[in-house]
A and B are shown apart, each in its own frame.
Chain A
Amino acid sequence: MEEHYRGLYEALHKVVGFIYPNEIELNWSILIVLYPYITGLVAGAFILASLERVFNVKALKPTYVLSLLTAFSFMLVATMPLISHLGQPQRFYEIMITPHFSSAMAIFGFVYLWYLMVVLLLEIWFDYRKDFVIWSQEKKGILKYVYKALTLGISDISPKALAMDDKLGYRITVIGIPSAFLLHGYVGFIFGSIKANPWWSTVLMPVIFLFSAMVSGIALVMFVYILVNYLRKTKIDMLCLDTIAKYLFYILIIDFTLECLDQIHRIYEAEESFDILYILVHGKLFFTFFIMQIFLGTLVPLGIIGTFQFYRPKEKIRKIFYAAVGILVLIGIFFMRWNVVIGGQLFSKSFYGLTSFKADFMGQEGIGMAAIWVVVPCLILTFLLWFLPPWKKMHEEDVAEETA
């Protein structure tokens, strides 16, 4: 507690102008930055998977399952930053039991469960059912029984049954696309609907969140794909990688355009809050906004992939640049979330002053806790790639050959 107060006294000395006395404490810290970030990665990775499945972009086939597993790994922890930041984390279930329907936040639990249980789990299950059956026959020891349990007792892998799996999986993906839009557009709405905060309150917020989600999810899968191939020393499918990069390029352009529109609109209207937001963006947010989000996270990646649309260097060089683009975009979108969440609390709702933010390392809402929720999904993904290796899945072509 003493530590907490000391931090607040420090913040008190750094206040510029006037803020309401209760505003010295920043209530949503780095964990709430992570929350939309991780949910965005999920939605984005899923959209990439659906490009292959529903929109029939065949070049993306090598990353289809990888996208799903990535989405699933991050989905499993998506609520954790939110829960661990609560003042009363043990009461989190109240949101599910007694939701207050006028609250934008109340529905999150349901949207989340729908997405996790109905969309992701089912889709992955239909996708892997055949492999579960085969692996439960091939493997030895305890794994055999684990895979067997995962078949849920359904061992029919006749072509007819597999065709049914495929059909159902397809339908779920079709449902999944609006669900992914809903999931992340909705997270944007949580911020966009706060009329008290002019930095958040814009009707574009859900749309911007959605496109930035796609951008971050695609960048993540692209990076994971390169990394996995590098670690496994396998040859990367360059057509696939180039195609991912192309989609990343287009969606990043849309995302950047929307954000520009938001800012231009803000600047042109120059409402009551404009002066303080101007000071904020050119002062305390300068580094995270202009340097990290716009320059490194957007313009540099756009420049690189844009150049590759006209001029294609050797595969090896492209690969390195794509990996760099993936990381830059991931950093850029992280800072986009940062600028929304932290930036939105740095200025006073009196519009007369600014406060400051210093993340503690330890503690319930510290950087340490945030790091856990970034590392855990990566570990889950690593486990899933070992447990459900996409590269050991039997491809449809193989099945077709077998049945022929």
Chain B
Amino acid sequence: MAIDEKNTTRRTFFKTAGLIAGGFLAGSYMKPFTGALYAAEEPKGKGKWYGIGIDLEKCIGCGNCAKACKAENDVPLEPFFFRSWVEQYTIKNDGTVKVESPNGGIDGFKQSVPDNEIMKSFFVPKMCNHCATSPCEQVCPVGATFRSPEGIVLVDKEYCIGCRYCVQACPYGCRYLHPIKKTVDKCTFCYHRLKNGLNPACMDACPVGARIYGDLRDPNGVMAEFIKTHTCNTLKPHLNTRSKLYYNALSQEVR
């Protein structure tokens, strides 16, 4: 009986040891794949992690941001390619919504709805939302779209194959195929300027200070202040892209 018990114990020991060893082995094997899961979480670590704030109450629809963006970033001038643009929303008295963005707002706006029909009207500057869980980055078949340590979504144009799956996956229409380079292009948050201590071109071009950006990790930074003191929302939050572009006074009509 005693021998039996001993045997059982020994077997249990081997079983447990085997399980632990196997578990470790499986765990170490699984490790390379945790990257895919990691994308759903806010990356921990140090350094700046940028967010953008746009105050719609301040925007006057001058289109300087869109114009500056095209000039800075070699964006084709034809009205089909934009990294940054402005939309004019007009809510009529009957509740219908009219949205316009002629040439991305670069040439300014003319109100096409007669004054007596307008309930309210406002401008919405658009750009890449630099989502924390960006669908464009998720779907790129070769990994040409990636997120920089600062949380900026970028495209490696030496690597992009031009399949345009990312264009389909972006819910905000922020991407296009560059007609000459034949690779996908999008807002880089002027990464080349940022790295040299300059502000993105659209930020500097805004005459009313409607656009700000800053480190989301800094509890005392401008972004924390902006989010704290304004009623902010992001675009299409139900898609859970965890957009890092925060709008103050975003009307529910805006998509």
User: Is the C-beta of A21 less than 8 angstroms from some C-beta in chain B?
Assistant: yes
Beta-carbon contact of A105 and B163 below 8 Å? yes
A18, B104: Cα distance in complex, Å: 12
Q: Other than the known A12-B79, A27-B164, A104-B139, what 11 A-B pairs have Cβ atoms closer than 8 Å? A: A1-B180, A22-B173, A23-B173, A88-B162, A88-B182, A91-B160, A100-B140, A102-B39, A195-B135, A196-B170, A197-B168
With both chains docked as a complex, state the minimum distance between the C-beta of B107 and any C-beta of chain A, in angstroms: 13
Beta-carbon contact of B79 and A21 below 8 Å? yes
Size of A's binding interface in residues, CB under 8 A: 50
Q: Which B residues lie within 8 Å of A279 (CB)?
A: none
User: Is the C-beta of B123 less than 8 angstroms from some C-beta in chain A?
Assistant: no
Q: Which B residues lie within 8 Å of A86 (CB)?
A: 161-163
A341, B182: Cα distance in complex, Å: 21
A28, B167: Cα distance in complex, Å: 10
Chain B binder among A61-69, A149-157, A347-355: A347-355
Which B residues, 83 to 115, have Cβ-Cβ distances below 8 Å to chain A? 85, 87, 97-101, 103-104
Chain A binding surface, main DSSP class: loop
A212, B233: Cα distance in complex, Å: 41
User: Is the C-beta of A5 less than 8 angstroms from some C-beta in chain B?
Assistant: yes
Q: Find A352's partner among B97, B142, B163, B165 (CB 8 Å cutoff).
A: B97
With both chains docked as a complex, state the minimum distance between the C-beta of A127 and any C-beta of chain B, in angstroms: 34
User: Is the C-beta of A92 less than 8 angstroms from some C-beta in chain B?
Assistant: yes
User: Is the C-beta of A194 less than 8 angstroms from some C-beta in chain B?
Assistant: yes
Which B residues, 166 to 225, have Cβ-Cβ distances below 8 Å to chain A? 167-177, 179-180, 182-184
- Bitwise interface map of A from 346 to 389 toward B, beta carbon under 8 Å scored 1, else 0: 00111111000000000000000000000000000000000000
User: Is the C-beta of A95 less than 8 angstroms from some C-beta in chain B?
Assistant: yes
Beta-carbon contact of A105 and B167 below 8 Å? no
With both chains docked as a complex, state the minimum distance between the C-beta of B14 and any C-beta of chain A, in angstroms: 36
User: Is the C-beta of B41 less than 8 angstroms from some C-beta in chain A?
Assistant: no
With both chains docked as a complex, state the minimum distance between the C-beta of A366 and any C-beta of chain B, in angstroms: 16
With both chains docked as a complex, state the minimum distance between the C-beta of B163 and any C-beta of chain A, in angstroms: 6
Beta-carbon contact of B171 and A195 below 8 Å? yes
Q: Which A residues lie within 8 Å of B78 (CB)?
A: 5, 8
Q: Find A12's partner among B80, B98, B162, B184 (CB 8 Å cutoff).
A: B80
User: Is the C-beta of B226 less than 8 angstroms from some C-beta in chain A?
Assistant: no
- Bitwise interface map of A from 92 to 128 toward B, beta carbon under 8 Å scored 1, else 0: 1011001111111110100000000000000000000
Q: Find B183's partner among A18, A19, A88 (CB 8 Å cutoff).
A: A88
Closest to B105 in A: A21
User: Is the C-beta of A4 less than 8 angstroms from some C-beta in chain B?
Assistant: yes
User: Is the C-beta of B24 less than 8 angstroms from some C-beta in chain A?
Assistant: no
User: Is the C-beta of A25 less than 8 angstroms from some C-beta in chain B?
Assistant: yes
Q: Which A residues lie within 8 Å of B104 (CB)?
A: 21
User: Is the C-beta of B255 less than 8 angstroms from some C-beta in chain A?
Assistant: yes
A-B contact pairs, 23 of them (CB 8 A): A4-B179, A17-B99, A20-B101, A21-B79, A22-B173, A27-B164, A27-B177, A87-B162, A87-B164, A91-B159, A94-B159, A94-B161, A95-B142, A98-B143, A105-B141, A105-B165, A190-B165, A194-B139, A194-B168, A195-B171, A196-B135, A349-B171, A352-B255
Size of B's binding interface in residues, CB under 8 A: 50
User: Is the C-beta of A24 less than 8 angstroms from some C-beta in chain B?
Assistant: yes
Q: Which A residues lie within 8 Å of B142 (CB)?
A: 91, 94-95, 98-100, 106
Q: Which A residues lie within 8 Å of B140 (CB)?
A: 100, 103
Which residues of A are at the interface with B, using a C-beta cutoff of 8 A?
Answer: 1, 4-5, 8, 12, 17-25, 27-28, 82, 85-89, 91-92, 94-95, 98-106, 108, 190, 193-197, 344-345, 348-353
User: Is the C-beta of B239 less than 8 angstroms from some C-beta in chain A?
Assistant: yes
Q: Which A residues lie within 8 Å of B33 (CB)?
A: 101
Interchain residue pairs A-B with the least CB separation, the first 6: A87-B162, A20-B173, A196-B171, A100-B143, A87-B182, A18-B99
With both chains docked as a complex, state the minimum distance between the C-beta of A235 and any C-beta of chain B, in angstroms: 48
Q: Which A residues lie within 8 Å of B177 (CB)?
A: 25, 27, 87
A70, B182: Cα distance in complex, Å: 35
Q: Which of B79, B126, B163 has the most CB of A within 10 A?
A: B163
- Bitwise interface map of B from 121 to 144 toward A, beta carbon under 8 Å scored 1, else 0: 000001000000001001111110
Closest to A91 in B: B161
Q: Which B residues lie within 8 Å of A348 (CB)?
A: 173
